[in-house]
């Protein structure tokens, strides 16, 4: 996104305020790497206008991802089981409970200001569709204490035809939102099919790009995997679907990955003006396409 902000917009405060002047929602992913702090969340609430919605990604331990011991608050590190790579290994249910509680408490400023959207529970690709996974998902939803769960699966077993109806019905019973994804169309186990189904009053779509060639190449980083700029034809495929989702849902959101840049049209050189931020470029493009299709969009 640094290629989208004007050069004079430099500090984190200036960037958030500038962003909120152009968009009315954001997905905060930094909380996946470290638990949010109350003072930081207070600043988010203060620096955004009324009606702005912030969805927050769950800390890695909350979705059974490996996390470095140093990512935990100091007082929670003592006694935590650690593997040979310095990652918390098979944490106790008590430790996970405390992590959920701290995450919940830190988000209170957004909750009180009416700016908290959902909590993105993005499960890793090794969490497959089986009874134990259903049990954990139900427990994790309870730990959110009323905040809206946005559930994204990364193993295709969850949304294969044999399991799809049961999984979507389960999410609906939990009051959880099924996160719809646009991603490369392959049969890889860590890619779920695109299923534009609602399980709550929220439609939530994440655009991951269509880099089939780099998705599972050994040694590639996440930034390389998600490095993708959609064209108008690709986003245009979604106009009708998003219109239907928005018509059936109370609220509808669409988000793009914020870790890539692409060459600007007609650019000649390597300066800042030679690049465009993929997320902002695609978000603006999609907004224009939806307006052309007469889909209400903010």
pLDDT at 217: 82
- What residues contact 96, with CB distance under 8 A and at least 6 apart? 61, 62, 143
pLDDT at 275: 80
* pTM for the structure as a whole: 0.94
The list of the chain residues with pLDDT below 50 reads: none
For residue 260, tell me if it sits in a domain.
yes
CATH number reported for the structural domain that contains residue 267 in this entry: 3.20.20.410
| Mean pLDDT taken over the chain | 93
The parent domain of residue 245 ranges over 201-298
For residue 272, tell me if it sits in a domain.
yes
For residue 212, tell me if it sits in a domain.
yes
For residue 98, tell me if it sits in a domain.
no
* Rounded (5°) CA angle 213-153-283: 65
Query: In the block, which residue shows the tokens 């939803």?
Result: 141
Number of domains in the chain: 1
- What residues contact 74, with CB distance under 8 A and at least 6 apart? none
For residue 195, tell me if it sits in a domain.
no
Query: In the block, which residue shows the tokens 């009606």?
Result: 51
pLDDT at 262: 81
- What percentage of residues in the chain have a pLDDT greater than 90? 84
pLDDT 10s digits, 263-298: 776 555 565 567 888 999 999 999 999 999 999 998
For residue 9, tell me if it sits in a domain.
no
For residue 291, tell me if it sits in a domain.
yes
For residue 151, tell me if it sits in a domain.
no
pLDDT 10s digits, 147-167: 999 999 999 999 999 999 999
The number of helix segments (H) and strand segments (E) in the chain equals 11, 9
pLDDT at 42: 98
């Amino acid at each position: 996104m640094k290629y989208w902000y004007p050069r004079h917009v430099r500090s984190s405060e200036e960037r958030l305020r500038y962003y909120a002047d152009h968009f009315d929602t954001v997905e905060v992913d930094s909380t996946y790497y470290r638990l949010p702090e109350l003072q930081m969340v207070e600043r988010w609430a203060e620096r955004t206008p009324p009606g702005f919605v912030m969805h927050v990604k769950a800390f890695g331990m909350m979705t059974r991802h490996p996390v470095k011991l140093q990512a935990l608050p100091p007082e929670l590190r003592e006694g935590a089981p650690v593997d040979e790579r310095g990652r918390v290994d098979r944490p106790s249910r008590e430790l996970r409970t405390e992590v959920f509680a701290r995450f919940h408490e830190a988000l209170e400023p957004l909750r009180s200001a009416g700016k908290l959207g959902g909590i993105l529970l993005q499960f890793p690709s090794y969490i497959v569709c089986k009874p134990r996974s259903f049990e954990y998902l139900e427990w994790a939803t309870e730990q959110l204490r009323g905040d809206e769960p946005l559930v994204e699966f990364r193993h295709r077993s969850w949304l294969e035809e044999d399991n799809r109806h049961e999984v979507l019905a389960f999410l609906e019973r939990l009051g959880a939102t099924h996160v719809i994804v646009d991603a490369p169309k392959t049969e890889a186990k860590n890619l779920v099919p695109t299923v534009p189904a609602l399980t709550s009053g929220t439609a939530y779509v994440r655009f991951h790009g269509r880099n089939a060639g780099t998705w599972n190449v050994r040694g590639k980083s996440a930034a390389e995997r998600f490095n993708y700029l959609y064209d108008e034809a690709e986003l245009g495929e979604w106009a009708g679907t998003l219109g239907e989702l928005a018509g059936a849902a109370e609220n509808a959101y669409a988000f793009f990955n914020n870790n890539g840049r692409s060459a600007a049209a007609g650019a000649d050189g390597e300066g800042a003006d030679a690049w465009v931020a993929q997320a902002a470029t695609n978000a603006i493009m999609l907004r224009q396409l939806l307006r052309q299709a007469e889909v209400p969009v903010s």
